[in-house]
Amino acid sequence: MKTPVKGRRKSIVILAASGCALIALSAFWLSCRKDEKLVTSGPCEAVADSRKDIERFLFPDGKGKGDTSELIDVSNMTAEQFRAKIESFPGKVVRLWMPGEKYWLLTGCAKTNKIEMAKAMDAFSSGDEAKGSVVGLFANYVGERGDVMPAFSAKLMGKVLPQWFVTKEIPSLDWISFEGVEDDIAALTRNGIRSMQVVRRLILEGNMRAAASADEKALDDAVDCWARAAKRNPNDSMLAERMERLKTNAEVFFRLGKYAQALKCYETLVVIKPENAANVYNFGICLQRLGRDELAKKVLARAKKLAEAR
């Protein structure tokens, strides 16, 4: 198939010097939708870690009386149900975060005073508990309750969707105090937060393209969105959640001997993160099992180089 994206062409060259094109991704997406049951339920590690980081940012001294948070599986929630959840959630200041596609976090703060960025930075820099960064966690931020509620005005039917909230203007950060933070660091932090939000919108654009159509080009463009996002923020938890599902499907397909389906999963993982040695290796093994020995040899050699360079 023809690929209009430069990044895709680069991945193809990396994986197959012979010029062999990638397998059409439309078949992959149809197979993954059909076999969604193969994916284990529950939040992935990246989503769980992101939740802890958000709580560490909001409550650097630990939760006080009236402070609360809840990770919610919205996959089967209607817009009305979710709106009711937000409206009834306890706390003077309620905020919505989206660490994953289906697991969203509501936080309620008992006090209305500003969050001290300096204290939050100290909490992240001390010890090894924080999995991400202060800047990185803002990829997940949607807004306060007042920012979120207008999204429901014309969308009260059917399943609640993340793009209702996250494609709007990037929310204000006037609830954060940068007092005690050097001016240059504060400026870099604000720019970094904006960048993380832009990356998240790119991921959501890919999600929407993948969900809206089985058209080959649309699905090709979806994978390109994720690949571009991965270059700017490889640790985004929503992207990690999607890649974890791909990896899980790939492993199950491989154990069942469905090597063609496993190949498509690993192929997509490699396009998104071409420097991941394990995924490149597994891609090569699938090619080997399917009798495509010449290409498999080149891909496995690439995996070895990546592993040795780590």
- At 155 the pLDDT is 66
Q: Which residues pair with 176 in a beta bridge?
A: 115
The three-state DSSP-derived secondary structure of 97-133 is ECCCCCEEEEEEECCCCCEEHHHHHHHHHCCCCCCCC
CATH value at residue 284: 1.25.40.10
Which residues, at least 6 apart from 14, have a Cβ–Cβ distance to it below 8 Å?
A: 274, 302
Tens-digit pLDDT profile for residues 250-305: 999 999 999 999 998 999 899 999 999 999 999 999 999 999 999 999 999 999 99
Tell me the chain's radius of gyration from C-alpha atoms.
21
Is residue 195 exposed (0-12), middle (13-18) or buried (19+ Cβ within 10 Å)?
middle
Residue 20 inside a domain? The answer is yes
The percent of residues in the chain predicted with pLDDT above 90, rounded, is: 58
Phi and psi of 73, rounded to 5°?
A: -85, 110
Q: In this structure, are 51 and 28 located in the same domain?
A: no
Residue 149's domain spans which residues? 45-181
Is residue 223 assigned to a domain?
no
Give yes or no: residues 168 and 58 share one domain: yes
The structural domain count of the chain equals 2
Do 18 and 101 sit in the same domain of this protein? no
Choose between 106 and 153: higher pLDDT.
106
Express each pLDDT in 61-112 by its tens digit. 889 999 999 999 998 899 999 999 999 999 999 999 999 999 999 999 999 9
Mean predicted confidence (pLDDT) in 177-182: 94
Instruction: Determine how β-strand 115-116 pairs with β-strand 176-177.
Output: parallel
- Which among 225, 237, 1 is positioned nearest to 97, based on CA atoms? 237
Q: Is residue 214 part of a domain?
A: no
What integer is the mean pLDDT of 240-246? 90
Instruction: Provide the 3-class DSSP secondary structure of residue 168.
Output: coil
C-alpha 109/C-alpha 122 separation (Å) is: 20
43-47, 111-115, 126-130: least confidently modelled range: 126-130
